[in-house]
Amino acid sequence: MAINYANRTYAEMQNLIEQMLQDTGNSTFDTTELGYWIEESLKEFANYKPHLVPVVFQIESRTGSDTAGTSSKLTDTNKSQFVAGDATFEKVIHNTTDDTWAVVEAQDSTSVLSISADIMASGENYEIYNKRCWNEYQIYIGDVTDYLEVDSVEYPIGHKRNWKIYNDVLEIAVNYIEDSDSTLSTLSRVDVLVRFNKPHRLNQLTDWSGETNANGTKGDKTIAIDGMGDTEIIERGDEFYIQYHRALYTIMADVTTRGNGATITFFPGLEAASTDNDDIEFIKSTLHPQDEDVFAQLVAARAVLSDSIRHIGGISIAGAGTWFDYQSWARDKLAEVLSKLNKNVMRSKKMYSRGGRFGGLLGR
C-alpha cells in the first residue's frame, strides 16, 4: 500500500481525531464541539510550531514646507510629492513648526492635500507619517488582525531590526529613515518586511484551485474569482497565492461561493497587477505532514479534558472514580503532546543593529 504524505484535509483531520477518541459516530463529541477544539488547538500549536506569514509594509517619511497657507489644506508646489494613497491610507500630517497635527482627507493634486484641521501657514514645515503614527520610524499594522506575535522585522529587507509595538503601530529601532518621496529620481528603499506568527490553518474548502475573474490593479484588496466549488464558504483567515505574485494573501471576510465563484476581500493589497484567469491557489493546510498526528493528539486531549467536568459526581458502570480516570487520561496525553512540542521550541532574543546614516545602506 502506498503511503500518502500529502497534507490531510479538514475532514481527514477530523476523522483522525475521532478515531483517536474512539468516537467515529460522534456520540460523545459532535462535529461542532470538535470544530471548536480544532480551532483553539490551531492557535496553541503555533506557539510551538510557528506559522509565519510575511507582510510587506512601507515607511512614510516625506517632508517639506507649505507654499500657500490655504485653510485646511497642505500645499507644496516645490516638491509636488502627494499621491492618492495619502488619503486612502489616512496619512498623518505633522506641522513641525507649530507642533500641530492633522490627517489627510483627500488628494486634490500632486501639490495639494485636503486635511482634517487648519494647521498650515505658508512657510511652515511639515512631516508625513503613516496612519495613526507619531514619527517616521513607525508603520501601521492594524490591518493584520489575527496574529499571535511578531516574529521578526526587516528594514531595509534583509536587515533584521528590533521593534516595539504600541497597539496597532510598530516602531522600528533604527537611527535613520530615508526619504520616502516617490517622485525622487533615485528611489529610496521603503519596504519593511514583518513576519507574523499566526494560528495554523486547516482550510475547509473541497476545491482549493481557481482563477481570477477580472483584471486587478496593484493595491486592490478585492477581486472576483471563479473555477471554485459551489456553495462553499471561503473563511476569514484562509490564505492563498495568486499566479506570478510572491505575496501570501489572507481572506478578511467570510464569503460563500455562488456559481463556482465569489468576490473575495483580502490583505495585503495586490503587490502587482493581475490578469483575468490568473491561477489562484488556497492553502489546504499549514501543518507539516509530520506534525499532523501530534496536532490530532493535542485536539483529542483538550477535548477530553474539557468534557471530563461533565462526569464529576456522575455514577457509571465503572464506578464513581470514572471521571477522575477520564481526566487523568487527558492530562497524561496532554503532557505527552506538550513534551513532544517543547522539544522543538526554539526561542532566542537578539539585539540587532540600529544602523545609521553613514557606513553603507543605513549603516546596516
pLDDT digits (tens, 9 = 90+) for 307-343: 776 655 554 555 555 556 666 767 777 787 788 788 6
> What type of residue sits at position 192?
V
* Amino acid 309: pLDDT: 64
Q: Does the pLDDT value for residue 4 go beyond 50?
A: no
> What type of residue sits at position 351?
M
Q: 314, 326 in Cβ contact below 8 A?
A: no
**CA 151 to chain centroid:** 12
C-alpha cell at 232: 462553499
Burial of residue 358 (number of CB atoms within 10 Å: 0-12, 13-18, 19+): exposed
pLDDT digits (tens, 9 = 90+) for 44-67: 999 999 999 999 999 999 999 999
Q: Does the pLDDT value for residue 362 go beyond 60?
A: no
At the topology level, CATH places domain 201-286 in Elongation Factor Tu (Ef-tu); domain 3 (2.40.30)
**pTM beyond 0.75, yes or no:** yes
Task: List, in sequence order, every beta strand (DSSP E) within 76-162.
Answer: 92-95, 100-109, 112-115, 125-129, 138-140, 149-154, 160-161
Best CA proximity match to 153, nearest among 168, 135, 141, 136: 141
pLDDT digits (tens, 9 = 90+) for 116-131: 999 999 999 999 999 9
Q: Does the pLDDT value for residue 169 go beyond 80?
A: yes
Q: 201, 160 in Cβ contact below 8 A?
A: no
Name the helix (H) or strand (E) containing 33. helix 31-46
* Amino acid 361: pLDDT: 46
Residues whose CB is less than 8 angstroms from the CB of residue 228 and which lie 6 or more positions away in sequence, other chains included: 205, 207, 209, 210, 234, 257, 260, 261, 262
Structural domain spans, the chain? 10-49+288-347, 57-199, 201-286
* Amino acid 348: pLDDT: 58
Distance of CA 285 to CAs 200, 207, 281, 291, 360, Å?
Answer: 8, 13, 12, 11, 41
Best CA proximity match to 104, nearest among 62, 141, 145: 62
* Amino acid 360: pLDDT: 43
C-alpha cell at 76: 507644496
Best CA proximity match to 286, nearest among 52, 55, 20, 56: 52
Max mean pLDDT range (26-40, 94-108, 182-196): 94-108
* Amino acid 3: pLDDT: 43
> What type of residue sits at position 3?
I
Q: What is the mean pLDDT of residues 193-208?
A: 97
pLDDT digits (tens, 9 = 90+) for 272-308: 999 999 999 999 999 999 999 999 999 998 888 887 7
In this structure, the strands spanning 169-172 and 239-242 are unpaired
* Amino acid 202: pLDDT: 97
Helices (H) and strands (E) in the chain, counts: 5, 21
Max mean pLDDT range (15-29, 154-168, 177-191, 318-332): 154-168
Phi, psi (rounded to 5 degrees) for 287: -80, 135
Q: What is the mean pLDDT of residues 159-183?
A: 96
**CA 342 to chain centroid:** 25
Q: What is the mean pLDDT of residues 199-204?
A: 97
**What value does the mean pLDDT of the chain take?**
90
Q: Does the pLDDT value for residue 26 go beyond 50?
A: yes
Of residues 359 and 169, more confidence is placed in 169
* Amino acid 307: pLDDT: 79
pLDDT digits (tens, 9 = 90+) for 237-259: 999 999 999 999 999 999 999 99
Confidence of residue 357 (pLDDT cuts 50, 70, 90): low
Q: What is the mean pLDDT of residues 130-135?
A: 98
Q: Does the pLDDT value for residue 346 go beyond 60?
A: no
* Amino acid 313: pLDDT: 52
CA dihedral 177, 179, 181, 183 (to 10 degrees): -140
Confidence of residue 150 (pLDDT cuts 50, 70, 90): very high
Q: What is the mean pLDDT of residues 102-123?
A: 98
* Amino acid 335: pLDDT: 81
C-alpha cell at 133: 503614527
